[in-house]
Amino acid sequence: MPQFRATAFFDRESAFRDDLRLSWRVVGAILATEVRFMTVAPHDNVHFADQIIARVRELAHPLCVGLDPHLDQIPAAFRRGSMATGDPETAGAVQAFFEEVADRLEKRVAVVKPQIALFEQMGWRGLRALEAVVERCRSRGLMVVLDGKRGDLGSTAEGYAEAYLSAMAPLSVDALTVHPYLGRDSLQPFLDRCESNGRGIFVLVKTSNPGSGDLQDLALSTGPVFAAVASMLAPACDALRGPTTGWSSLGAVVGATYPEQAELIREALPHALFLVPGFGAQGATAEDSVRGFSPGPAGLEGGIVNSSRAILFPRLKNDSWEVGFEAALGEAIDRLGQAIAR
């Protein structure tokens, strides 16, 4: 009997030690997560537009590199498994690729724009990869605009705003794309974070896709729908102007494929940053991409011009992906730099 009690005691002691070691591992993981959040979260209460304009002026070009994981185009050196959306190895391959991209963009561009849908297609692994990629970009000094095109009513919009524009969210970013078609009140949670947390939003106004005119160009009594959206945004845009540059943290998505419309939108929103898609693979020129920009201290300014596929997946002859990437990146920087210097 005494031997049985001793054995039971030692068994309980061993179990206690195992539980204690597990508890310390959990505590360590929590602390590591908190440190990571403090490291990668955007700087609170620093005006988004002031930050991005300062960086664009320093670099002398407005290029934004889109991080779009088109799985069939991921370079061979990074591919793992089948690269199907449900393959557990795919998200790791995407993460490794974009971490390499972030390393190569350090001190060369001001901002990147991950497309969340192309990460979501890989399920929870894809979102985990996106979080790691955002962390890598932040560690390399890159600002992050998340292309999510969010928008909803009431508490749902609050949830979206809290998920991406709050200080301690796991996927906290500098700015988020949103759509306006549920009305002013659907934008308010995002505007609140712009004011309180120094974040930014880019509202869809005139997008670059060929079918954008189906709705955005419809004629109202006051003009096209896109012009009505711009007019609706004007008061909030003025209220969110930065103290240093005068540019607003409420921006507009304005496609480079519609330069004349960009000029009209600039008249309605003189202080809004433009997020300009359509340069590169969609065929718009550098000059068209900056048609909605305004004169600044060192040339045209007032937005960022996105290019994704043309830089990430350059057409290769006999060159390696690294050589093609560097050439495509350098060409985009040069073309946009020349366009804003005119």
Within 8 A by CB and 6+ apart from 311, the residues are 65, 280, 325, 328, 329, 332
Within the chain, residue ranges assigned H as helices are: 2-40, 48-59, 90-105, 116-120, 123-139, 154-165, 184-197, 213-216, 225-239, 259-268, 286-289, 309-312, 321-341
Q: What is the DSSP letter of 255?
A: -
From the list 24, 62, 60, the residue with the least C-alpha distance to 274 is 62
Within 8 A by CB and 6+ apart from 249, the residues are 47, 48, 49, 175, 194, 198, 199, 200, 201, 240, 242, 273
Alpha-carbon distance of 85 to 96, in angstroms, equals 16
Out of 107, 113, 149, 206, pick the active-site residue: 149
* Chain Cα centroid distance, residue 36: 19
* Helix, strand or coil, per DSSP, at residue 223: strand
- DSSP strand pairing (299-301 vs 294-296): antiparallel
Q: Is 317 an annotated catalytic residue?
A: no
Alpha-carbon distance of 42 to 173, in angstroms, equals 6
Whole-angstrom Cα Rg for the chain:
23
Within 8 A by CB and 6+ apart from 52, the residues are 110, 111, 143, 174, 200, 273, 304
At residue 280, what is the residue type?
G
Q: Which are the catalytic amino acids?
A: 149
